[in-house]
Structure formats: structure tokens, C-alpha cells
Amino acid sequence: MLSVSFATGSPGTRGWALLLCLAAAIPAQAQSDSLRTLTQRFTTYQQQALQEKVYLHLDRPLYLSGEVLWFKAYVTDGTSGKPLAMSKIVYVEVLDRNRQPVLQAKVPLRNATGQGSFQLPAALSSGSYTVRAYTNWMKNFSPEFYFHAPVTFVNTLQASGVVSTLDTTAYDVQFFPEGGNLVRGVPSKVAFKVSSRTGQSVAVEGTVLDGQGQTQASFRTLKFGMGSFNLTPATTAPYTAVLKLPNGRLLTRQLPAAFADGYVLRLTEADAQHLRLTVQAPGHNAETVYLLGHARQRLALATTAPLRNGQAEFVVDKQALAEGISHFTLFNGRRQPVCERLYFRRPTTQLALQARPDKRQYAARSKVSLQLTTATATGQALPANLSVAVYRTDSLVAETGADIRSYLWLTSDLVGAIEDPAYYFDSAGPEAAAATDNLMLTHGWSRFRWEDVLRTSLPSFRYLPELNGHLIRGHLTQRQNNQPAPDITAYLTSPGRPARLSNATSTADGTVLFETADFYGPRDLVVQTNTQRDSTYRIELDSPYSQTFASSVFTRPFTPYPRFRDEFTLRHLQNQVQTTYSRKYNSIFAQPSTDTLAFFGKPDEKYWLDDYTRFKTLEEVLREYVPGVKVRLRKDGYHFNVLDNPNRTMFTDEPLVLLDGMPVFNTNKLMAFDPAKIRKLEVLDSRYFQGRALYNGIISFSTYKGNLEGFPLDARALVQEYDGLQRQREFYAPRYDTPEQQQSPLPDLRNLVYWNPQVNTVSGRATSLEFFTPDQPGQYRVVVQGLATTGAAGSTSIRFDITPAQ
């Protein structure tokens, strides 16, 4: 749709009347621009509004409480589809059915990929949840375009899981006039979608009745609860649809009311190579209309045509359109957007991925060798970055979710849940073409608003891309009146080793933005202003997670059906056994590679105080063997000055003083601190620039424990616990290389057999992957997904069996 008012989550209408109101609010200058100016503004906007896409490969679609959920993140350019190494952090959340987060993580990205995991709490209730992911930059745009994937959690310790409070017998029925409008007297195509309250598509048939109860059209679903019919409204009064469900129940719903005047846009196949877009607008003779076509943020078509007898026609060469979803937007003579239509051109660009196990059947505790190859669609070797998951399949596991290819090319540019997206890539023939067209009519959406595009000013964005590290946002306000405090420098640190300090100067609205580096795990943050100069301010930190949610994404209630009792019992046994014998392996984390130097780099002077005579006061320490620091005693207490070594003189202004990386502005407090708690002293005897701050030398004290050792903090400082970047959990799987290992009495009932989020093919071929089968017989699924540097995406899935012991 052209704006938020077009959301398909608003049942029954597209809100075009509201669009016309919005269009009327477009500045007069924009309304009088030429088509050339319109295209220039579109191009300028898209250059400024770079689009990122995030895709997560989840290791499985169903988990038991207490298990680990593993994921691999891929970040791509929304235009080219290539890996986009702009953002360095991806935010991943698990939302419950009330859209409340139950798990959250900040996952570091390197070369446009990242990996992470969640240990699911043992008390987590059974139900359907949503995993969503996004970058800080993506928070500038609609949350509809964050990554979303449904997952199911089962708590087998609960007798029957959660009981749904939703009315599962209720149905959601929506109608979508092609182009957005029904206009009196104009033949139109109307698409529809029917689903249950649990989100499952429903097959229906029905009729459309006018006000006198006469049948004007009949219809039936074609695929996935979607279909379409033709209707020529004879009145602006709403028509009524009567739908018959598979159980014989009848539903009555109203269609969107027709306008007395307006525009209708119709798309048809002119021939195998061309599309025909027909505009009908009775009463608009001699008016020029404009058609703009764009796909993946690139302009593909900009043309005009006069309305003759209220009609105009455009013929478009399909080969001129980019692969994927194209948006056709119709503007009236006043350059107001009045209709939009989507078209999907199936992409030929793909990563041909093959996975070959050395066998199709294995005994328990046997080695599996898996060979992976990646190539172009024409068979040429193509290196790629892959992720691999191997898990046991059963009747609890659904396999119709989006893979990386269908997500990047299709579902990421549509709104709402798409049932079996692979169908639109793998199926051919008239039915598949009609089903694809129904999908475009019922799930259309746009990543921008035309009001933003047509503005003469450049777009402004609240959230910056995290180019170097995690950005922590906060606000400074006046204590006495809670008004924003502009142009005040604040300091953020997490006491520890090595010293890490960020500073930021508040903007006009009091916003401060701290850039952090190597910030992993839960930490205590200390945020303060220079209390010797700025002592009347209050500091608050914002949550880094998005506070907006997609309206069309919802979770389904979970009910453990009796027919799945055996599967639940088996999964419960597997989970309890693995928890008993292998839970300790879930808490092994790789040590992140971090800079061991303080933020100011290598100091000019370094003193290990244990190497010197210990004095009772810090004043004696500094005076006796730290020549680069001069201690002055004035009326208000102690002051430091540092040697300006490059100029062979002393700085007249005071240096930055740190204790375990935390700025100390009250020197008297530091001088009263027990020097026996200080292990190391470092001095930087030159000016140091950090952001807009200038330090006339730095004196850095480090305690033995790196935790301030009881140093009294200023009462006005903000001390807050904060989760840094997620540390990488190491995946553990037992090996059975020797007879002793194979004969181990410890049971191996793993459901997830193998997880490897970082597999790189060289010249299209990967080194053979090896893992060992568990004890549990059954069918196992291997899922491989990946992305090449060219933007080609692909996935594959194979199965093998573990046979029961003889």
C-alpha cells in the first residue's frame, strides 16, 4: 500500500479515502512538480533511505522448554540482495502472543553475518511465539519489515500446555479491490483472503449480493484461503458477501463501499512478454495520469498517458522489470498517488545448493560425512557462506516456513504471514500464476510513504546505523523542571579492565548517544556528567529494543492434540535425559576477541604499585614516583596537572582522572581512597581527543578487582545494570571415534544432532562436515541455507534414517 492506512491488517478495506486525505496534505509544490521531478525525488529518497534486510536461519521450528534455540543472522542490501556489512549489531527477540518480549539479545555482526542462541527458560509456557530481528537502522522504518518467524515452545512438564482463550471458531475475512478502490460503474477485480483466528487459511465458496439480495458475483478460494472475483458496482452502497465454510457454516461480510468517483487500476497479461495496466476513471477526460514502477528500491518505469473517454493504457515489457516484487503507482493529474498494484517476477538468480551424505541409513553412534556444493543456476561453482542444522523429524514439526531465498525475494516485501512461500518459486502453470497474483493483491505493502518521498526536504532519521559498535541512547533533563538539557557532555563507562569510556554531548532535545566497543555480557553502567561543573541534570537510558510492533504478525494458540501424545512423550523423555546428562555443555561460551588496551591506547607511563614502596596516602604515591603528575593543594582541595610531554611544559587545565575506567571529577574523594587497593597507575602525558571532548592528559588508576573496590559514587550518577552483546555459545555434540566412546553408558537422545552456523565453501565446495548420530532411531532432516557475495541465496533439505539396533 502507499501508506500505513493501506495495511491488510485492517479488515475489509484498504483505507484509500484516508490516502486521498493524506495526498491532499502533500505540499503544493510537490503537487505541481513534473514527472521528472517526481522521479528525481524518488531516487533521492531511496538513496538516503538505504534498506537493510535481516534473515534468521533457526535451527528448528519446535523446541521444548529448557532447550537451546540456535540461530544464524544474515544481513543484506534490500536493493541488490548482496551481504551488507553496514550494521555491526542485530537485535533478536522472542515475543509471546501479546507481543511482549520473553527473550532479547544483541548479537554482534561480522561481515554481514552473526550467530546467537537462547537458553529457553524451564518455566516458559507452551505456546506459539514469534522470533523477530532487526538492526538499529531498520528501526527508522515500519516494523512490518523486521524479520518475523513463528516458533513453537512446548513445556512438557505442564499437563496440557496453555489453553487458548481465543475464539478459534471465528474467522478473519478481508476483501481487496485491485488498485485499492471500487468505483461505481467501473468493472473491478476483487481479491479476498479467509483465515481462522489461529492464522490457518480456510477454503470457502460464496456469492456477492446487492442491496436487493440479487447475486452479482460468485467465488471460491483457489489456494491458501485466497481467491478473486469480478464485480461492477452499480451503487455506492456496500455489497454483501455470503461465504460457506467447509463445515457448512455461513458467514456474512460486507465488501468495501464503492466511491462515486475515482480511479481503478487493472493489471493483466498482454502476452507472454508484456503486462497491460489499464486505468479507468469516468469523468476524468483530458486528464494526464502518471505511472511509476519500482522494484527493490530502484526505479524501473516512469511514464504518462492521457485519459481518453476516462481510460488510459500502459504496456510494460516484463524484462524491463527487476526480479522480485514490482510496485506500480498511479498518480492523477495533480500528481497525487491514487492507486497501486504489485507484480511478482519470479527470480532466476539463485544459489544452487546440494548436500550429499555418504549414506542414507546409519546405525546409532555412527559417523555421518556430509558434502556440500554451491553453484550458480547454470552450474558454475560459486563460493557461499552457509549454516547447517540437523534434527529429528516427527509429526510435531511443520516445514512450510520461508527459507532464505523466498524470504529475501518475496515475504520480506509483503505484509502478514505467507503460507508455504516456497510454492511461489517451485510451482508452475496457470493455477500457480493465479495464486501468485492473489498473493500480490492481498499482501501488498510499501516500505515508504509517498508523503515522505514528495517532500522537498531530505528525510531525517532518528536511529543511526551502528557502524562500529553498539549505540546506547539516553536523555539528559533538568532536575528542577524535567526539560531537555542541551549541549551537556555526559560520560558512560562500565568499570572494569581494560578501561572503556564513551562520551556524548546532548542535542537540543537532550539526547545523548554513546558508542561502545567490546561490550559483552551483563554489565553495570555508570553514567554521569562532570559534577564539578554540571550537577543539576538527570540521566535516563533508553531501551535499545524497538518499541513498535507489526500489526499483522500474531502468534497462534497452542493446543497439544491427543493424537500427538506419543510424540510429546518421546520429546519429554529426550529433553529430560539430555538435561540430566548434558546440560552443563549448554553453558560453554567462546571468549570474544577484544582489545586488551584501554580506550586511550598505550600509556606514556605505567606503574605497578607493588613494585614500589607502598605509601599510606595516594598523595605520597604521586609525589614520590610519578613525575608526570603534579599534585596541587588549593583552598577547595586537591588538583592534578599532567606534563605536556610533546611541548615540555605542564597543562594548565586538569586531566581526565579515571578509576577502573570511570571518570572521577571530585579529586578529594580519590585522594581519600586507600592506595593499597590500587594495583596499577597509567599516565597519558599528551592531549587526547575523544568525540567532541578534549582531555589535557589522562591519569588512570586500576584496582585489583576492577570493580571500584568500594569507591563512593556520586549520588547524582546513574548506575544501571545493562546487557551488552551476547557471547557466543559453543555447540556441543558427542563424538564416537573410539570403541570406548561408542560403548559409553551415557544415553544420547539428542533431538538437534548438529548445528554449524559458519560453513564457507571455497570454489563452490566445502570441506566435508562430520558429526555422529544419536541413539534414537527415526528420520532426521538436514537443512542447509546460505548466501553468496553476489546476493544469490539458496537452501536445500535432505533426510536420512537412523535404524533401530538389531
How do the domains of the chain map onto residue ranges? 471-542+599-724
Report yes or no: 539 and 521 within 8 Å, Cβ to Cβ.
Answer: no
Terminal-residue alpha carbon distance, the chain: 61
Residue type at 159 in one-letter notation: A
Bridge partners, residue 132, by sequence: 93, 148
Q: Supply the pLDDT for residue 26.
A: 38
**Ramachandran area for residue 699 (φ above 0: left; ψ -120 to 50: alpha; else beta):** beta
Residue type at 434 in one-letter notation: A
Query: Exposed, middle or buried by CB within 10 Å (0-12, 13-18, 19+), for 696?
Result: buried
Report yes or no: 288 and 307 within 8 Å, Cβ to Cβ.
Answer: yes
| Separation between Cα atoms, residue 179 and residue 584, nearest integer Å | 57
Cis before 61 (ω within 30): no
Residue for cell digits 463501499?
257
Query: Exposed, middle or buried by CB within 10 Å (0-12, 13-18, 19+), for 268?
Result: exposed
Q: Give the containing element (helix H, strand E) for 264.
A: strand 264-269
pLDDT in tens, 57-69: 999 988 988 899 9
Q: Which three cell numbers stand for residue 319?
A: 524484462
CA angle 267–273–278, rounded 5-degree value = 20
Residue for cell digits 494526464?
288
Report yes or no: 767 and 373 within 8 Å, Cβ to Cβ.
Answer: no
Report yes or no: 118 and 102 within 8 Å, Cβ to Cβ.
Answer: no
| Separation between Cα atoms, residue 794 and residue 786, nearest integer Å | 6
Rounded to the nearest 5°, which phi and psi values hold at 451? Answer: -60, -40
| Separation between Cα atoms, residue 14 and residue 8, nearest integer Å | 7
Question: How many Cα neighbours within 13 Å face the side chain of 531?
Answer: 17
Residue type at 755 in one-letter notation: W
What DSSP line would sit under 471-515, residue for residue?
EEEEEEEETTT--B--S-EEEEE--SSS--EEEEE--TT-EEEEE
| Separation between Cα atoms, residue 377 and residue 534, nearest integer Å | 63
Rounded to the nearest 5°, which phi and psi values hold at 299? Answer: -80, 125
Could you count the other beta carbons within 10 Å of the beta carbon of residue 163?
9
**Ramachandran area for residue 337 (φ above 0: left; ψ -120 to 50: alpha; else beta):** beta
Rounded to the nearest 5°, which phi and psi values hold at 547? Answer: -100, 5
| Separation between Cα atoms, residue 640 and residue 650, nearest integer Å | 10
| Separation between Cα atoms, residue 668 and residue 633, nearest integer Å | 10
Q: Supply the pLDDT for residue 5.
A: 28
Bridge partners, residue 68, by sequence: 119
What DSSP line would sit under 51-116, residue for residue?
PEEEEEEES-SEEETTSEEEEEEEEEETTT-SB----SEEEEEEE-TTS-EEEEEEEE-BTTEEEE
DSSP 182: -
Residue for cell digits 539430555?
578
Rounded to the nearest 5°, which phi and psi values hold at 108? Answer: -70, 145
CA angle 596–598–601, rounded 5-degree value = 100
Give the strand pairing for 678-690 and 662-663.
Answer: unpaired
Closest CA to 49 of 345, 293, 296: 296
Closest CA to 525 of 390, 324, 661, 394: 661
pLDDT in tens, 72-117: 999 999 989 999 999 999 999 999 988 899 999 999 999 999 999 9
Residue for cell digits 510537490?
30
Q: Give the containing element (helix H, strand E) for 739.
A: helix 739-742
Between the alpha carbon of residue 492 and those of residues 120, 473, 505, 633, the distances in Å are: 32, 11, 11, 29
Closest CA to 105 of 120, 94, 121: 94
| Separation between Cα atoms, residue 12 and residue 793, nearest integer Å | 35
Alpha-carbon dihedral angle through residues 706, 711, 715, 718, given to the nearest 10 degrees? 0
| Separation between Cα atoms, residue 545 and residue 542, nearest integer Å | 9
> Can you give the pTM of this predicted structure?
0.89
| Separation between Cα atoms, residue 315 and residue 277, nearest integer Å | 6
What DSSP line would sit under 586-639, residue for residue?
GG-BPPP----S-TT-S-SEEEEGGGS---SSHHHHHHHH-TTEEEEEETTEEE
Residues whose CB falls within 8 Å of the CB of residue 79, separated by 6 or more in sequence, listed in order: 46, 51, 296, 297, 298
| Separation between Cα atoms, residue 481 and residue 109, nearest integer Å | 41
Could you count the other beta carbons within 10 Å of the beta carbon of residue 95?
21
| Separation between Cα atoms, residue 80 and residue 761, nearest integer Å | 21
| Separation between Cα atoms, residue 279 and residue 536, nearest integer Å | 63
Q: Supply the pLDDT for residue 2.
A: 33
Q: Which three cell numbers stand for residue 428?
A: 508452475
| Separation between Cα atoms, residue 470 and residue 90, nearest integer Å | 10
Residues whose CB falls within 8 Å of the CB of residue 271, separated by 6 or more in sequence, listed in order: none
Q: Which three cell numbers stand for residue 547?
A: 518499541
Residue for cell digits 516484463?
318
Q: Which three cell numbers stand for residue 434?
A: 493465479
Could you count the other beta carbons within 10 Å of the beta carbon of residue 793?
26
| Separation between Cα atoms, residue 723 and residue 52, nearest integer Å | 24
Considering Cα of 515, then 518, then 521, then 525, what sign does the dihedral take?
A: negative
| Separation between Cα atoms, residue 183 and residue 486, nearest integer Å | 53
Longest dimension (CA), the chain: 103
Q: Supply the pLDDT for residue 454.
A: 72
| Separation between Cα atoms, residue 369 and residue 616, nearest integer Å | 66
Q: Output Rg (C-alpha) for the chain, integer angstroms.
A: 32
What are the residue ranges in the chain where pLDDT is below 50? 1-32, 159-168
Considering Cα of 22, then 23, then 24, then 25, what sign does the dihedral take?
A: positive
3-class DSSP state for residue 177? strand
| Separation between Cα atoms, residue 452 and residue 775, nearest integer Å | 59
3-class DSSP state for residue 321? coil
Bridge partners, residue 703, by sequence: 678
Would you give the distance in Å from CA 681 to the centre of its chain?
Answer: 43
